Copies of this chain bind each other. A is one copy, B any other.
């Protein structure tokens, strides 16, 4: 059997209460007793049972993280940053990949509640999927999950503006925007709004296409093909994420377009991975580490029941000029 506090007490020749006092640094303890206790713990290989501690303390230091899938580099990096931020502050991460499925997401919420997580960071789509009694503090990254949930996002409007402006500045006459499903209520929709606003401001008609499915790594090429069929004279494309931008470029190149001469492309997200293997891509860089840290900070405030006036937390984006514009 695993050694317990009783065993440590016996080995150290003290009472269980004293061992607990040493472990939690409470009350008066002499240095010699501390040494004895720590030594005994080493000797018998004692490992505190956090389950029992958490049960009594009503605090698990567990943070639930729900993302579509760590397969996608954006979420992979975001999860890595979240985990890092959590680890720094002593929290542990329970990982959930919702795979864009609403029922899975619901199940994960329930699971997290059963496991008494102290908080949830959710980066996912399905609005309305909130635990019946959303007792645990929660914060969303880049998605409006429910009206009362705090949101951390990057400045999607500015990002959309910058991307569109970049295309226009580089001389595009007919920049087209491609985005994900608009049924999702996400701040990312502001990118499209910004695109449309900038286009109109420049007396151009906005043209947008929508990728119907959210199947990240297997992007449906139909929409991309349709763009080039409908508009063979397209000279600029603002894609709502880098993977999409790359797919567009691949297809355009196969059709004989030269980038950036015939066609300019701007992506979105700017993950380290894509910047490493596709450094030529012009893209809007989201502050992934800052998103993670801010989300955790906001969550911590909630956990400590501090009131937070701002429901939304918007972080600045960066434009990374590559060679595709």
B-contacting residues of A (Cβ < 8 Å)? 2, 45, 47-52, 54-55, 60, 65, 69-73, 75-77, 79-80, 83-84, 87, 92-97, 99, 110-111, 113-116, 132-133, 135, 217-219, 243, 246-247, 250, 272-274, 276-279
Q: What is the copy number of this chain in the assembly?
A: 2
- The CA of A116 and the CA of B87, in the complex, are separated in Å by 18
| Contact, CB under 8 Å: B60 / A70 | no
Q: What are 29 inter-chain pairs, A to B, with CB distance below 8 A?
A: A2-B135, A45-B132, A45-B133, A49-B55, A50-B115, A51-B51, A51-B60, A51-B115, A51-B116, A69-B80, A70-B70, A70-B76, A70-B77, A70-B83, A71-B76, A71-B273, A72-B76, A72-B273, A73-B73, A80-B97, A83-B97, A87-B96, A93-B95, A94-B95, A217-B276, A246-B277, A247-B277, A250-B279, A273-B273
Knowing A73-B73, A92-B111, A277-B243, the reply to whether A217 touches B272 (Cβ < 8 A) is yes
Question: A71 to B273, alpha carbons, bound, how many Å?
Answer: 8
A65 to chain B, nearest CB (A): 8
Whole-angstrom distance from the CB of A325 to the nearest CB of chain B?
A: 19
Nearest chain-B residue to A54 (Cβ)?
Answer: B51
Given A76-B71, A217-B276, A246-B277, the answer on whether A48 and B93 have CB atoms closer than 8 Å is no
Residues on the B chain within 8 Å of A132, using CB: 45
Q: How far is the CB of A70 from chain B (nearest CB, A)?
A: 4
Q: Which of B77, B116, B277 contacts A278 (CB 8 A)?
A: B277
Distance A304 CA – B149 CA, assembled complex (angstroms): 42
Q: Are B70 and A80 in contact (CB under 8 A)?
A: yes
Set of chain B residues within 8 Å of A99, measured between Cβ atoms: 84
Least CB distance from A255 to B in Å reads: 16
Residue from B52, B87, B96, B218 in contact with A83 in the complex, judged by beta carbons closer than 8 Å? B96
Beta-carbon nearest neighbor of A243 in chain B? B277
Partner of A55, one of B45, B52, B111, B243: B52
Write the nearest CB–CB distance from A174 to chain B, whole angstroms.
26
Which single residue of chain B is at the shortest CB-CB distance from A45? B133
Answer whether A49 and B133 are a contact pair too, CB < 8 Å, given A83-B96, A219-B276: no
User: What's the minimum C-beta distance from A78 to chain B, rounded to whole angstroms?
Assistant: 9
What B residues does A116 contact at CB under 8 A? 49-51
Cβ–Cβ < 8 Å partners of A75 in chain B: 76
Bound complex: CA of A113 vs CA of B47, how far in Å? 7
